Amino acid sequence: MASGSLGQGLSVSIGAAITKTMNGDPSMVYCLMGDGELQEGQVWEAAMYAGSKGISNLIGIIDYNNRQIDGDVSDVMGIMPLEDKWKAFGWDVYSMDGHSYDSMRDVFAAIDSNASNGMPKMIIMKTEMGKGVDYMMGTHKWHGSAPNDEQLANALAQLPETLGDY
């Protein structure tokens, strides 16, 4: 389900996680959120609920790039200290470089080793919007905008043939 800026994805994910538990399904539920989405109160109500109820089959992932459609998240309405907030709501929190497969592997290995601690998990993925494309990095202007054919060719020329380094 995509809810984007409405901030409803975490609440829906909690419902899915509870349903899986009730049905004896041991699989995890994943919820991907943008950092601008965290400006919605519903996210924090859901965070408080999941932590207090020990929804341990839930993994949240935040794409933390400090960009949203209206500008930098920190300029629109700051959300820091992000890690401390999730911990305060009873979540097991991990930070990682969202462009590094090694970092991703390490975080998921740590989550696996802490899977039975009875807490929901939150991964804060630090990323750069448009990474590797000079005219896309450092700006929110490409949030929700597609490049034209010339811009696309320019972007593809700047990226490695495989994105293994990202």
Enter the pTM of the model: 0.88
User: CA-to-CA distance for 153 and 150, rounded, in angstroms?
Assistant: 5
For the chain, the average pLDDT equals: 91
Classify domain 4-127 at the CATH class level: alpha beta
The mean pLDDT value for 102-127 works out to: 93
**Which residue did the predictor score with more confidence, 140 or 48?**
48
92-97 vs 67-68, strand pairing mode:
unpaired
Residue 75 pLDDT? 87
The mean pLDDT value for 33-49 works out to: 93
User: CA-to-CA distance for 51 and 56, rounded, in angstroms?
Assistant: 9
Instruction: List the single range of 3-17, 71-85, 101-115, 152-166 with lowest mean pLDDT.
Output: 152-166
Nearest by Cα to 76 from 31, 38, 45? 38
Q: Tell me the two tokens of residue 122.
A: 């939150």
Instruction: List the single range of 69-78, 80-89, 110-119, 141-150 with lowest mean pLDDT.
Output: 69-78
Our measurement of the distance from residue 90's CA atom to the centroid of its chain's CA atoms, rounded to an integer in Å, reads 17
Residue 162 pLDDT? 60
User: CA-to-CA distance for 50 and 90, rounded, in angstroms?
Assistant: 8
Q: Which value, in Å, is the radius of gyration of the alpha carbons in the chain?
A: 17
User: CA-to-CA distance for 110 and 58, rounded, in angstroms?
Assistant: 15
Nearest by Cα to 60 from 13, 22, 19? 13
Nearest by Cα to 82 from 96, 98, 62? 62
**Residue 114 pLDDT > 60:** yes
Residue 73 pLDDT? 83
- Which pLDDT tens digit goes with each residue over 54-72? 999 999 999 999 988 888 8
User: DSSP 3-state helix, strand, coil percentages of the chain (rounded to 5)?
Assistant: 45, 15, 40
Nearest by Cα to 17 from 120, 124, 93, 89? 120
